Amino acid sequence: MSFSRTSGILLHPTSLPGRFGIGTLGEDAYRFADFLVGAGQRIWAILPLVPTGYGNSPYQSPSTFAGNPLLISLEGLVDENLLEAEVLRSAPFFPSHRVEYDRVAQFKMPLLASSFEIFDARADSSQKEEYQNFCQQNEWWLHDYALFMAVRKAHNQHPWTAWEEGIKLRRPEALEHWRKKLAREIQSQKYVQFQFSKQWRSLKTYCNDKGVQILGDMPFYVALDSADVWSHQEMFYLDATGNPTIVAGVPPDYFSETGQLWGNPLYRWEAMAQDGYVWWKRRLRATLEIVDIVRLDHFRGFEKYWEIPSNEATAVKGRWVPGPGAAFFEAVQRELELLPIIAEDLGLITPEVHALRDRFGFPGMRVLQFAFAGDGNENAHLPINHSPNCVVYTGTHDNDTVLGWFGGGSQDTTLSKEALDKEREHALKYVGTPCEEINWDFIRLALASKANTAIVPLQDLLGLGSEARMNRPGVATGNWEWRFASRMLTDGIKDRLRELTQFCRR
């Protein structure tokens, strides 16, 4: 699928301003949508909307289908008389520039449970019918997720591999026992997902009506401690206790000399192929119901993936194993037809990965922070080498900000200082300005590129340094926390971006 010439901003909703410690789907999200429109942008790029998992990562979620409860607007629930306004007036102090996930959850999750009790007691027939319809339409994933979260809560948040054998292995009598024992909590979990869905769909409709599309992100792998793995154990390489025998990662790369050991269980692709990849079809369909365009993270895994024995301490001792390849996308395409997919084709990419991407016409990614490595002008990330059918980023959520990268703020690559200095020298020559505003120089390069789609992280638009970085690959803590203040989105920035966007015919 080809995309028209557009541009947008990358900002995960958790980074929005707000009173209660984390961005939400409330008023500030609508204000940001208005800012996008005023700045001439037609794409809002986000990270996965799922609940966060280990390290607060949206890429290690307890569900690939559920929405993050922490994104629910409490003010929105008050407006619907589903939460008492008084409980918000006594909220604790939260920092405005960082998300303290544990504190936010301790404050917010009990209020969402209270909202369920109010809904259950006061909802009229039409409200209850709307809730029941949501539950019925999503029963194929929702019930297992709600049961999983309820049982995990009853086990002090221990992973499912540590539960007693009956429920761990999903024996029918154990499933029935826990369904009855935790019936109220299961309903509460479903209600929270119902409210997330309502608020998100309202925001998405608002964006779409104003000409803004949502570019979502779908992780390739799922977390071991998730409803997905627990409810579909036959689809993963697990031993008799539910622990993985082989796990995911990538070999040594730009970010790490020992590679990245992600630890996710690997798919039994041959088992998935037997039913025509039903789980994946449902996953893609569900994702495309909540976003307009999907960025497939770790696209190279569909061609070959890095398999690591589960007893290894690093990702060094692994091997490349063939993925499902073209047969997978052919099966998906027969059912879903239109596939508005962007292939995240970064890292150690082979001609075979490019061939798979090009066979289905998926645009790949170009990142300007990678553009100035090497001695010549053959680098595919260099703007002069961009093709229309690609998406150019000044940087991604895994990169430092442009300002941080240019100033050498966070040295977390395998490159030497000399190599990094050489990259920056190359960037100076290519840009051809004094680079007094290197972030705007990169934004101009991205928008002027031949690439049909250009995406700028909000941190680069605001000219922020390494302190505003979203994620450091291979680092377990301190990620996904950055937030901006509403005063940062000035009319001057909005007008400047709109003029540059119009000048570059986006």
Beta strands 260-265; 341-343: pairing state: unpaired
pLDDT at 377: 82
How distant is the alpha carbon of residue 246 from its chain centre?
24
SS (H, E, C) 443-485: HHHHHHCCCCEEEEEHHHHHCCCHHHCCCCCCCCCCCCCECCC
Residue 473 has pLDDT above 90, yes or no: no
The domain spans of the chain are 6-503
| Phi, psi (rounded to 5 degrees) for 73 | -80, 120
Element holding 217 (H helix, E strand) = strand 213-218
Query: Quick one: pLDDT at residue 78?
Result: 97
Give the residue among 411, 390, 407, 408 at the shortest CA–CA distance from 454: 390
Q: What percent of the chain has pLDDT over 90?
A: 88
pLDDT at residue 254 is higher than 80: no
Please give the class, per CATH, of domain 6-503.
Answer: alpha beta
Give residues with Cβ within 8 angstroms of 29, minimum separation 6.
13, 16, 23, 203
In this prediction, residue 373 carries a pLDDT of 85
The structure's pTM equals 0.96
The pLDDT of residue 414 is: 61
Tell me the pLDDT tens digit for each residue of 104-124. 999 999 999 999 999 999 999
CA atoms within 13 A on the CB side of 307: 16
DSSP H or E stretch at residue 492: helix 491-503
The Cα–Cα gap between 63 and 100 comes to 21
> Is residue 398 among the annotated active site residues?
yes
Q: Beta strand 364-367 with 260-265: parallel, antiparallel or unpaired?
A: unpaired
Amino acid, single-letter form, for residue 459? Q
pLDDT in tens, 443-470: 999 999 999 999 999 999 999 999 999 9
The pLDDT, as a whole number, for residue 394 is 98
pLDDT tops 70 at residue 297: yes
**Cβ contact 3:363 at 8 Å:** yes
Summarised one tens digit per residue, pLDDT across range 420-442 is: 888 888 898 898 877 789 999 99
Q: Establish whether 79 is a catalytic residue.
A: no
Q: Smallest Cα–Cα separation from 230: which of 300, 171, 301, 294? A: 171
CA distance 49 to 88: 24
Q: Taking Cα atoms as reference points, which of 12, 73, 14 lies closest to residue 45? A: 12
Taking the CA atoms of the chain, what radius of gyration do you get in angstroms? 23
Annotation marks residue 297 as catalytic: yes
> Which is the catalytic residue, given 28, 225, 297, 423?
297
Q: Which of 121, 119, 105 is nearest to 191 (CA)?
A: 119
Which residues lie closer than 8 Å to 120 by C-beta, 6 or more apart? 187, 191
pLDDT in tens, 374-413: 767 889 999 999 999 999 999 999 999 999 999 875 556 6
Query: Which DSSP helix (H) or strand (E) runs through 264?
Result: strand 260-265
The per-residue pLDDT for 411 is 58
Which tens digit of pLDDT belongs to each residue from 199-246? 999 999 999 999 999 999 999 999 999 999 999 999 999 999 999 999
Q: Residues 168-204: pLDDT tens digits?
A: 999 999 999 999 999 999 999 999 999 999 999 999 9
Question: Which helix H or strand E contains 261, and what residues bound it?
Answer: strand 260-265
Residue partners of 389: CB distance under 8 A and separation at least 6: 2, 3, 361, 363, 364, 452
Which pair of structure tokens corresponds to residue 348? Answer: 């150690």
The residue written with tokens 């994933």 in the block is 141
Q: Which residues pair with 319 in a beta bridge?
A: 307
The full length of the chain comes to 506
Residue 217 burial (10 A CB sphere; 0-12, 13-18, 19+): buried
Element (H, E) at 343: strand 341-343
Q: Which of 223, 296, 302, 219 is nearest to 265 (CA)?
A: 223
- Among the options 398, 412, 437, 467, which is catalytic? 398
